[in-house]
Amino acid sequence: MAMSVGSSSGDQSAIASINTTPLVDVMLVLLIIFLITIPVINKTVKVDLPKAVNIPTQTKPENITIAVDRDGNTYWNDKKLASRDDLLAQVKAAAVQKPQPEIHIRGDKEARYEAVGRVMYAIQRGGVQKVGFLTEPDHGVRGYR
């Protein structure tokens, strides 16, 4: 608390007044802290989210790799397939093997989503349970071209 003593007119009486500047400064800081922390403390439904772990693919001889190039051509373990029916026949043959092999899809980044979607649909229709996508790690992505 601050106090002014004296006045310009020579009156020696004490004038008591509260200096509110520090109080206003503290209140503004508290208001800013409160506004920043409110969005963090929002109430959401409690769910246990899965933990994502990026582990390298272990290539086994029984794994099957299906590649889709930029033109939409499909390759079964580096062998070009003539039609969608050939792909479906190959997937059905692989689905009855014990243990069932994993299918890894390698899609060219310039390939249409439709071509990769057709491969996924054929795998679903064929009955294979384990499907994965093979990608390459990013080494300093500078943006899209």
Average pLDDT, integer, range 7-13? 60
CATH number attached to the domain at 64-133: 3.30.420.270
Q: How confident is the model at residue 53 (pLDDT cuts 50, 70, 90)?
A: low
Q: Which pLDDT belongs to residue 25?
A: 93
Contact indicator for 81, 64 with CB cutoff of 8 Å: no
Average pLDDT estimate for 29-53: 72
Pinpoint the alpha helices (H) of 38-112. 84-95
pLDDT of residue 84: 87
CA 47 vs. chain centroid, Å, equals 18
Distance CA 127, CA 65 (A): 16
| Alpha carbons within 13 A on the beta-carbon side of 30 | 6
Task: Give pLDDT, residue 28.
Answer: 94
* Residue 144 confidence class, pLDDT cut points 50, 70, 90: very low
- Is 133's pLDDT higher than 60? yes
Average pLDDT over residues 63-81: 89
- Whether the upstream peptide bond of residue 61 has omega within 30° of 0, thus cis, is no
Please determine, for residue 64, whether its predicted confidence score (pLDDT) is greater than 50.
yes
What is the per-residue pLDDT across 91-109, written as a single tens digit (0 to 9) for each? 999 999 888 899 999 888 8
Mark 43-66 as b/e (b = at least 16 C-beta within 10 Å): eeeeeeeeeeeeeeeeeeeeebeb
Tokens standing for 110? 């310039």
Map out the domains of the chain as residue ranges: 3-41, 64-133
Q: Hey, which bits of 3-102 come out as E strands?
A: 3-5, 14-16, 64-68, 74-76, 79-80
